[in-house]
Amino acid sequence: MTYILQQILNALQLGSIYALIALGYTMVYGILTMINFAHGDLFMVGAFFCFLIAVYLQLPFLPTLMLTMFGVACLGVLIERMAYKPLRAAPRVSAIITALGVGLFLENFTLALSPYPKNIPPLLADKTWMIGSVTISSLQIIIIALSVSLMLILDFIVQRTKAGMAMRAISWDKTIVPLMGVPVNKIISLTFAIGTGLGGAAGMMYGLAYPVIDPYMGIMVGWKAFISAVVGGIGNVRGAMIGGFILGTVEILVAAFFPSTYRDFVAFTLLLILLIFRPYGILGRPSPQKV
């Protein structure tokens, strides 16, 4: 039982990171019905932003977090304006190819600047406590608490603010909303800023929990976060949160009781099984098309 409780705590840590990244996927899909396949690489950029700020500016944890989120959010808005906005009226495959190209550009640009793995210096004094036989570290508590706090803030923004109402309106019918005075371009940019900012925060927390970072770290993590969004119901904010914790729990428990090489196999198998029995995810709903 002690071993299981320890693994559940590890699953909460990993699942909270997956959930933050999955929110970026699901928000962009909800607004533009496109998959931003560059989002995993923006998560990687967040880890490198954290490294640069921690090494050269030597700021404490909270300012580093704020600067990392702001920097990645600005990069996300820039990518949306330069790469995605001109393709809104183009076939959907054009936006997908562009997103893949942006991801490759970010990977290779980072590789050119930093070809070797880096170690993020510790920004927090990592203390550990024993509760019974379960070991809890202060870093785990901060990652879980901060991730849940950011998710609750996002849920409040989407459900309780005018900007969130505009996001939901654009998601419902983006052709009518401009006639009602909603600034569509600003709301889409805000959506990218929030989603990529959360991805940057996830990159920083991932880099602190697993200190070695490299330019290709966002590929597999990004795909797994995408799986989390699909499992929860892509386009649904709360579904992305649930999907992230489900996938994190599955991965940790599989690695705890089976060879760790089965972890990715089980993760992608989970996606296939879910798509067979519930194609729209746990909280997703089919969108009827009027003809």
223-253 confidence digits (pLDDT tens): 899 989 988 888 888 899 999 999 998 888 8
Cβ–Cβ under 8 Å, residues 241 and 281: no
Q: Where are the alpha helices (DSSP H) in the chain?
A: 2-32, 39-52, 61-79, 92-113, 138-160, 162-172, 184-209, 217-232, 237-257, 262-277
pLDDT tens-digit series, residues 103-116: 999 999 999 988 88
Q: How confident is the model at residue 281 (pLDDT cuts 50, 70, 90)?
A: confident
Of 209, 220, 282, the C-alpha closest to 245 is 282
Check whether 201 has a pLDDT greater than 90.
yes
Q: Checking DSSP bridges between strand 118-119 and strand 128-131, what pairing results, if any?
A: unpaired
Residue 280 has pLDDT above 80, yes or no: yes
CB contact at 8 A, 151 and 23: yes
> Residue 286: which pLDDT band, with cuts at 50, 70 and 90?
low
- Does the pLDDT at position 66 exceed 90? yes
The overall pTM is greater than 0.75: yes
pLDDT band at residue 288 under the 50/70/90 scheme: low
Q: Kindly tell me if the per-residue pLDDT of 126 is higher than 80.
A: no
